[in-house]
Amino acid sequence: MISLRLTKLLAGVLVFIFVFPGFVDSRPQAEVDGWTVIGLFVREQVDIARAKGTINDPYFAEGLTDLVLKRFDRQLDTELAEHAKNLTPAQRETLKRLLVSDYVSYFYQKSFYPKNSKVLVVKPIKVASVKANGKIYDYYYAPMSSSIPYPIHWWVQVNVDITGGSGVDSAGYSYNVNGNNDLFKIVVKYTSSEVTYELHFHDEDHPDPSLDKIYDSMRCFIYSGRDSTYGCEDVESIRVEDGSIVFPSTFSTYTECGYILCHEVSQTYATPFPTHGYGVRTYSSSVEIYISNTWNHLMDTMDTNPDMSKVWYYSSWR
């Protein structure tokens, strides 16, 4: 009798499952936006590259950008559709690449952050403004700790990146920017043998105003929690170890190869869609980091905009 009842009960359960197969699926599901899916894919590719030992490939970030654009083309079109209605097809493609390259670069940089590090947060304070040789030099003071290895004293930013304005850069590219892209915070993550400098800017201005507003709103949507007072906060980083400064996808110089020869390309402030380069420079205590060689804050120890006025940030170590 018990066996018969149990058989009928199980049969009823099976009927319920087969008659109502959508019962579980009909329950509310958490929505996952396209950028979250892309972020998971990018992190997976970074982890694979680290496991294979190819993470320091200077072409990795740009190669991954190309892969994301190819694999997630439809999803990206969907994500941009609502925001880019008034853009031309060419502008939409430019915007798509700018957003993806920035997103890939962000996760790539974070993969190099030191583990179990100490953290120091510094906010530069303006102390002087000097005019010399027709150029304006603003000086900022940022106190650091002497326990941090590889101190960097000088950070140099193109003046128009802060004040705003229009003109032509050293390579002949035109720009019309809002400014207010000040370096307002430096987060220092360090151990006894290495240090990562995470630089926070209020915003980054694309030199084409018709793209910049949409670019800002999309970035703040992608990076929830970033400050949006002046557009959308930009975060870039470099690290120093073993006597070298490493620019992980934040290098303003990249290598371009033809059929026979390769040559270095030094990008300037208003380069329309900069390539995120990977580079290494020798460290010295007197080194200067030019933090806005391009409008999206790609850097180098060399100035690619020598004819543009600068702002100088001085980090004091005590």
Instruction: Give domain status of residue 305, yes or no.
Output: yes
Cite the DSSP H helix spans in the chain.
2-19, 34-52, 60-71, 73-81, 89-110, 160-163, 209-222
Q: pLDDT tens across 200-239, in order?
A: 999 999 999 989 999 999 999 899 889 999 999 999 999 9
pLDDT tier at 109 (50, 70, 90 boundaries)?
Answer: very high
Decide if pLDDT at 29 tops 50.
no
In the numeric block, the tokens 């390539």 are attached to 275
Mean pLDDT along residues 155-161: 95
Q: Name the domain boundary from 58, 80, 110.
A: 110
Q: How many separate domains does the chain show? A: 2
Q: Which domain holds residue 78?
A: 34-110
Decide if pLDDT at 256 tops 90.
no
Distance CA 137, CA 158 (A): 10
Q: Are residues 80 and 154 in the same domain?
A: no
Mean pLDDT along residues 77-106: 91
Contacts (Cβ under 8 Å, ≥6 apart) of 245: 238, 239, 280, 281, 282, 283, 287, 289, 301
Instruction: Give domain status of residue 162, yes or no.
Output: yes
CA distances, 240 to each of 25, 122, 124 (Å): 51, 18, 20
Q: Are residues 138 and 203 in the same domain?
A: yes
Decide if pLDDT at 7 tops 80.
no
Share of the chain above pLDDT 70, in %: 88
Q: What is the pLDDT of residue 18?
A: 38
Q: What's the chain's average pLDDT?
A: 87
Mean pLDDT along residues 11-28: 41
Q: What is the pLDDT of residue 33?
A: 75
Q: Are residues 71 and 165 in the same domain?
A: no
Tokens read off for 43: 């992190």
Instruction: Give domain status of residue 243, yes or no.
Output: yes
Instruction: Give domain status of residue 184, yes or no.
Output: yes
pLDDT tier at 112 (50, 70, 90 boundaries)?
Answer: very high
Q: Are residues 146 and 66 in the same domain?
A: no
Q: Name the domain boundary from 92, 110, 128.
A: 110
Decide if pLDDT at 62 tops 60.
yes
Instruction: Give domain status of residue 24, yes or no.
Output: no
Instruction: Give domain status of residue 226, yes or no.
Output: yes
Q: Please give the residue that has the higher pLDDT: either 297 or 16.
A: 297
Q: Please give the residue that has the higher pLDDT: either 261 or 252.
A: 252
Q: Name the domain boundary from 110, 126, 145.
A: 110
Instruction: Give domain status of residue 46, yes or no.
Output: yes
Instruction: Give domain status of residue 15, yes or no.
Output: no
Q: Are residues 162 and 304 in the same domain?
A: yes
Q: What is the pLDDT of residue 79?
A: 87
Mean pLDDT along residues 184-191: 93
Mean pLDDT along residues 247-260: 89
Mean pLDDT along residues 78-96: 88
Q: Please give the residue that has the higher pLDDT: either 257 or 211.
A: 211
Mean pLDDT along residues 142-167: 89
pLDDT tier at 155 (50, 70, 90 boundaries)?
Answer: very high
Least confident of 129-143, 145-159, 270-284: 129-143
pLDDT tier at 176 (50, 70, 90 boundaries)?
Answer: very high
Q: What is the pLDDT of residue 224?
A: 86
Tokens read off for 126: 């303006």
Share of the chain above pLDDT 90, in %: 64
